Amino acid sequence: MVKKLFIVGLILLIPGIWTLFQALSIGPASWALDQSLFWGTPIVNFVFWIGLAHAGTFLSAILLILEVRFQKRISLVAELSTIAAILVASIFPLIHLGIVSRFYFLIPFFNERNIFANFSSPLIWDFVAIFVYLCISIFYIVTHLLSLKHASLLKTRKVLAWILFPLVLWVHTIVSLDFAVTTNNLWQGAYFPIYFILGALFSGLALVVFLLEVQKRRVRKIEELLIAASWLLFVFWIWEFFQKGVWHFEVVFFGFVIVQLLWIPVLRKQKAFRLFVSFSVLISMWLERYVLIIPLDIEWLPVDYGWFALGIGLFLSVFFGLYLLIQKHNPLVFYVSAEESNEKYSRKVLWGILAGAVVFALLYFALNYPLDTSVPLMNWIPVLFPLFSLFAGLSFFALGVYSVVPKKQFFLVSGLLVLILGGAFGAFYAGGDTNLGVESKIISVERVSKNNRPVKDLWASRCASCHGLKGEGNRKFIYEFYPEIQDLTLERLNSQGEDSLTQVVLKGRAFMNPFEGRVSEPEARALIRYMYQLAEEKE
Amino acid sequence: MLISKRTFIKSFGALLGGLLLFGCRKQGEKSLSRVRPVSIPDIKKQIKEAMKNQKPLDSLVAIPVPSSLKAFPNATNRFGMAIDLDLCDGCGECVLACNLENNIPLVNEYQASKNNYMHWIELRDQIPVTCFHCGDAPCEKVCPTGAAVHSPDGVSAMVYARCAGTRFCGVNCPIKIRKFNYVDALDEGLQFISNPEVPVREQGVIEKCSLCLHRIQNARLKAKTIGKEFLGENVTTACAEACPKGAILFGNWLDPNSLLYKKARGRGVYTLSSIAPFDPSVVYFKGVR
């Protein structure tokens, strides 16, 4: 069964990759959007898959903290589904960008040029929160797998669960804020975070029911949780109806009416029926997001259908691929769980790491905070906790792994990681070339400048605003924006040479802007000769 | 079995990897040779089509005359416009002038059939609607990269080079006046280049009314060169210039000598009801107060 589903996932990936190719090469025009509907099916799928990702954490981490007994039987499946679902979910917002190669503009990273991301935008919170969530989920599952051999890691697992518990609520609250902070009346409401979190849990529970059935196992408690969650969501649907007049029969039918059939023992015993209910819940939750984000009737394009193939195909192939890989090494891992350990971290270590996390978060703000910002400090808080948990989670994970892995190996791998991350950090901080190249050139100006203008006019129109008509510098303008410019002397011009100065005009240097595209190369050369003329006149 | 499992997985992986690489390949530089000239009658035709099926308009509500911005309380300028609804007859000349001034591309037939045009000024129920340059703009709050920013002059500006195309601003605009470049208009032969001062927008960025920022900046540079304080004299927008009835006024809300400020005296100042909470800089004049 597992192998079959893995193959199904791989086969679904073929139309999925085609969809990806279409979406990347054509851009947002390839799926159904227009000038009044800017968010389409990729966002629907993103919210759906990120919701599925939360259930894994809920069933593994939160139940571990609450010391629920059936947690042991489902934790690894739940954790694996989290990893696979986050991977799927994180693809959609990236594809959805107008210019995918500019995705890194959304990383709230301090840089040399003081161009900061806008912290009042929920998308920045999203980016940070989901990235941190993915990291800690990976730490969590790796700890789980290692703890099967080394029981001392169980205490690390418990600490990571404590970090994940609030984080999962935090992440989905932020996802709901993407909608709740807008001016759209249908998306507003203080209840949105809870509504979204419940929806995520509901769909995630349904997914876990399906994944357990694949293993030919059944956990009755989850079915009961499913019924409970359906009632809670039903309350919200009624609330939405009275508040906003929103009522979607198909969502309620698939998400509430059908789930109630689980009360009937005869039906509940049937495997096929349990699978039917779990799919019905998944359909309902997808529809719920769809009607929320796309309230109008729109005409679907092929890519809109392709997202299903991409999402399901990638999920199945990643989940069952990892499943098979893990099972190969440890065939019983999905059925046996390690014993609980009562070991605990010493207070000193706990407080040390917490203090470190606070210092790290504050340092991040201090480095990132531009002095002239108009963004209130309140808007930074949503990224505070994810950063805090990233530091704490990484520290506990490193501590735990350090205690079980051979020292040489540990230092080799962590040293390599630090090198790579440090290099990336430095590269990001320095930033790239500011000459944006062909894509941002003002194409039309090139055409205009092709007729041979007298060089004096060219100087007056292009250079004089900063350098002055006689090369003396336009003090009034420069004083506001730039440091003082160099004196124009023959000696200085000769020391640089005509060729290199031409390149300076075209490519720019320090505070000099690049003029490539605005003046042609012969024109630039003519301008340099004109500078010689001006310098001679001056002397 | 015809092929072994190992071969299947290998060839499958190679196929997927190849497809992925193919999808991510760098597209060649766009050649200008493919550009088909767009003529002014083409633009006029699309404006006519757009005017035929106009979108509905929100109700108008009265607001006070715009005063200094909350974010920049010490600024001396707040540029804005007023559209005199007593004079405006919805002829659409302003739309044409705006298109020519700002190199606004045409849209392809598919988008045109869905009534989605790139026009920065739209006529809705015979009333010109454009970006209102809200002082407390909802679009700027949600832009993750800071591409939608407010200038101290009161212009809600777009930094095209900084826009990653998340379209959150468009989602959060109550009147959906921001336009997204779904296609590369230059490549598709939809681009009309009439004004070298305004950059051509690339595929994947949002664009909207800039209050003819290039005109403001040119006048500011001139004023700075001769050492004068710039309060928005001798500047007007393309739409205001083109309006045959003189119904559109551009000016500085904070300069008592500005024509806009003077004309606002005694007039009823209105805006759309969905925009009213956001302190717009572009308003409607209607009747007397």
Residue B265 vs residues B67, B246, B258, B261, B274: alpha-carbon distances, Å: 13, 17, 12, 7, 24
Test the A interface: residue of B166, B187, B205 with most A CBs within 10 Å: B166
How high is the pLDDT of residue B33?
43
Residue B142 to residue A99, Cβ atoms within 8 A: no
Residue A182 to residue B142, Cβ atoms within 8 A: yes
**Helix segments in chain B, DSSP class H:** 5-23, 40-52, 93-101, 109-113, 138-142, 168-172, 185-188, 213-225, 238-242, 259-264
Q: A500: Cβ–Cβ under 8 A, 6 or more apart, which residues? A: none
How high is the pLDDT of residue B26?
57
Among A residues 35-64, those touching chain B with beta carbons less than 8 Å apart: 35-36, 38-39
Residue B182 to residue A29, Cβ atoms within 8 A: yes
CA A110 to chain CA centroid, Å, is 17
Contact in structure between B141 and B172 (CB atoms under 8 Å): yes
Give per-residue pLDDT as tens, B193-234: 777 788 888 888 999 999 999 999 888 888 887 878 888 888
Please list every residue in chain B whose beta carbon sits closer than 8 Å to the beta carbon of residue A39.
167, 171
Mean pLDDT, chain B, whole residue set = 86
Test the B interface: residue of A33, A183, A185, A298 with most B CBs within 10 Å: A183
Among A residues 242-261, those touching chain B with beta carbons less than 8 Å apart: none
How high is the pLDDT of residue B31?
45
Give per-residue pLDDT as tens, B103-152: 898 888 888 888 888 999 999 988 999 999 998 899 988 998 888 989 88
Q: Is B139 on the interface with A (CB under 8 A)?
A: no
Low pLDDT (below 70) residues in chain A: 113, 334-343, 369-375, 432-454, 480
Give per-residue pLDDT as tens, B27-77: 544 444 444 567 788 888 889 888 888 888 888 999 999 988 888 888 889
**Which residue type occupies A214?**
V
Q: Which of B16, B174, B204 comes nearest A183 by C-beta?
A: B174
How high is the pLDDT of residue B25?
65
Burial (CB count within 10 angstroms: exposed 0-12, middle 13-18, buried 19+), residue B29: exposed
CA distance A299 to chain B (A): 10
How high is the pLDDT of residue A281?
92
How high is the pLDDT of residue A316?
92
Is B209 in a helix, a strand, or coil? coil
The token pair at A253 is 């039918």
Burial (CB count within 10 angstroms: exposed 0-12, middle 13-18, buried 19+), residue A141: buried
Q: What DSSP state is assigned to residue A537?
A: H
Residue A27 to residue B174, Cβ atoms within 8 A: no
Number of cross-chain residue pairs from A and B with Cβ atoms under 8 Å apart: 160
Q: Is A374 on the interface with B (CB under 8 A)?
A: yes
> Nearest-CA neighbor of A308 among A7, A43, A5, A15?
A15
pTM for the whole structure: 0.81
Q: Is B172 on the interface with A (CB under 8 A)?
A: yes
Residue B223, number of CB atoms within 10 A of its CB? 17
How high is the pLDDT of residue B208?
92
How high is the pLDDT of residue B27?
55
How high is the pLDDT of residue A341?
60
User: Using CA atoms, how far apart are residues B120 and B201, in angstroms rounded to an integer?
Assistant: 13
Test the B interface: residue of A444, A445, A451, A474 with most B CBs within 10 Å: A444
Test the A interface: residue of B35, B171, B172, B229 with most A CBs within 10 Å: B171
Test the B interface: residue of A118, A298, A433 with most B CBs within 10 Å: A118
Q: Is B103 on the interface with A (CB under 8 A)?
A: yes
Please list every residue in chain B whose beta carbon sits closer than 8 Å to the beta carbon of residue A448.
196
**Which residue type occupies A466?**
C
Q: Is A96 on the interface with B (CB under 8 A)?
A: yes
- In Å, the largest CA–CA distance within chain B is 89
How high is the pLDDT of residue A424?
87
Test the B interface: residue of A25, A35, A46 with most B CBs within 10 Å: A35
Residue B195 to residue A444, Cβ atoms within 8 A: yes
- Which H helix or E strand runs over B190? none
CA distance B171 to chain A (A): 6
Beta bridge partners of B271: B61
Is B125 in a helix, a strand, or coil? coil
Residue A18 to residue B19, Cβ atoms within 8 A: yes
Please list every residue in chain B whose beta carbon sits closer than 8 Å to the beta carbon of residue A15.
none
The token pair at B123 is 């006529």
Q: Which of B141, B145, B179 comes nearest A120 by C-beta?
A: B141
Residue B145 to residue A35, Cβ atoms within 8 A: no
Residue A58, number of CB atoms within 10 A of its CB? 22
Residue B224 to residue A477, Cβ atoms within 8 A: yes
Q: Which of B118, B166, B206 comes nearest A123 by C-beta?
A: B166
Q: Is B211 on the interface with A (CB under 8 A)?
A: no
User: Using CA atoms, how far apart are residues A360 and A259, in angstroms rounded to an integer?
Assistant: 46
Residue B182 to residue A28, Cβ atoms within 8 A: yes
Q: Is B12 on the interface with A (CB under 8 A)?
A: yes
Band the pLDDT of B280: cuts 50, 70, 90. Answer: very high
Residue B117 to residue A35, Cβ atoms within 8 A: yes
Please list every residue in chain A whose beta carbon sits closer than 8 Å to the beta carbon of residue B180.
28, 33, 35, 38, 98
ipTM of the complex: 0.83
How high is the pLDDT of residue A442?
37
**Which residue type occupies A192?**
F
